[in-house]
Amino acid sequence: MSTGLTFRGRPEHQFRNFVALWSVTLKVSLRRMLGRPLVRSWSWTFEMGTELLREQMRVMFTMTPPEARAFGDSMSLPAPALDRVRMSEPVTTPARGRWFEPRETSGRTLLYLHGGGYAFHGEGYANFVALVAEATGARTFALDYRLSPEHPHPAQLEDALAAYRALLASGVSPSQLAVAGDSAGGHLTLSLVLALRDAGEPLPAVAMGLCPWTHTGARGASLTANDPYDWVQGAHAIQFGAWYRAGIPADDPRVSPLCADLRGLPPLVLQAGGREILHDQIVEFADAAKSQGVSVSLQVWPEMNHDFQAFGPDVPEAREALANLRTAMQQWCK
């Protein structure tokens, strides 16, 4: 787990990460030596990653959001996918973000919306986007939207709409365009297609949510029941929601797609882990969308936790989930 780790930024942040790394290594190694892994099917690497991310999140929630972002960037993991994908320099117009272009492209375009509870966007996310771009074979624009709590709803939706419209204005056909996102980015994906439908604008060929947040309040028993297995905790999701909503009730469809009228949406591909805190609300959303006539593919990996796809090819479930995104784009982007 430590191979290729890089420490940077403020000395105090580097020190806290160094201590966390070795304490987590000792904790996980001893637990597994005693025959008590957190989940029996997990590898040492996956369990280490889960515990290290959990410790990072714990520390970040003792800080202000700006300091937490700096702390999150003070330790980076190896990013092999970035060696296989061409990443552009940041662009600012017509939308802020980066292009990711795989070596072999399919001719399709993907608008990718990152997670992070709408509050965090670490530099390490580039590897996650590269994994998705490589798996789908799509020329991928990763939007760098404004963050809460400094910029609450609807800032993120406004940025996503601007990026989507810019792609269409550049000549990208909706039939060759997909939108995807993980976690809060999955929430933004759903919010985006709802806004496009309401505005009568062209819809993407398919919308894909990787462990998508579908309700920004305390929804679903798994939000706390799966705390022992997930690296993001239910209390964190509730705080992220409060920052994002800025006083809007959690059941308002503007901030919780689960509460919206879902009729007329494009095909949806939703992925979830059975051990993640958002599991129940993802399943509830899928059921609601199906009951309203939407084409929905819900894919659940029972032993996985939140955003497991980010572990890439080394984890069979992540490898399968990423491959399924390519299949979905081949099916719907004609």
Given the residues 151, 276, 279, 317, select the one marked as catalytic: 276
The active-site residue out of 74, 76, 148, 183 is 183
| Ordered DSSP codes for 192-203 | HHHHHHHHTPPP
State the Cα–Cα distance between residues 82 and 177, nearest whole angstrom.
23
Positive/negative CA dihedral, 49, 50, 53, 54: negative
Q: How far apart are CA 299 and CA 249, in angstroms?
A: 29
Contacting residues for 35 by C-beta, under 8 A, at least 6 apart: none
Q: Which helix (H) or strand (E) holds 215?
A: none
The H or E element that residue 65 is part of is helix 65-72
What is residue 258's three-state secondary structure?
helix
Of 114, 151, 236, 306, the active-site residue reads: 306
Tokens of 135: 């798996």
Active site residue 183: yes
Residues identified as active-site: 183, 276, 306
